[in-house]
Structure 1
Amino acid sequence: VIHSTWGDQHYVGLAGMDIFDADGSLVQFEDAGAAVSAEPEDINVLSEYTDDPRTIDKLLDGVNATCDDMHVWLAPYTPGEVNRVRVELDESTALGCVRFFNYNKSRVHAARGARHVSLLLDGEVIFAG
């Protein structure tokens, strides 16, 4: 759950996400694009956008340290409301680490990155900060 940005009042984004199991191995997905979803999904839900490449499937494409629109996710953001990102693991997995790469297209757009987030596992908060 994304509660706030670093200051942008209209958009929130992430460049990527790594999920590691308890042994420190990167969790693999049979279909990474189908494993991740968001509410709102991406900026294509806005009438002025139709084919913007900054879609939720990019979070698990493995290209994380990037400013390239082809490998980031961007969604509408309204202060006081929350954005949700959901990842469905292929199988029961003991987690060791989750690493987020914040949206950083440019210095101007760095404020679109997620600031305060909560991480839930099976409905229980395991991180808030």
Structure 2
Amino acid sequence: MSDETVLLVFTNAPSAESARHIARSLVDARLAACVNILPECQSIYRWQGAVEEAAELPVMIKTTAAHYQAVEAAIRLAHPYELPEIVAVPVERGLPGYLAWVAAETRHEPSAPPEA
């Protein structure tokens, strides 16, 4: 995978405020070209031996492979969960102009993300 490969990075946030904070910190630092905060969903998962349920907001982050490590670090810094979901999926195909835009918006040297 090349550094220019566009990635979709997914996480979930416990509140709109938390999701916006993560999104703004990534876009402001030029680590992401765009972040979508989706409507609330219900998550059911096993955590520390118990089945849990939580209302969460899915967050979709558009970035490039070159910035994945910094995106992961910024999410971990800003995220309130002990172990946040952070998964990345490479984009194999897409509108060429859109993929070029993502690459261009994240090509600049990223600035340090703001403190959580």
TM-score range, shorter chain: 0.3 to 0.5
TM-score normalised to structure 1 length: 0.34
- Whichever structure has more helix as a proportion of its residues is 2
TM-score normalised to structure 2 length: 0.37
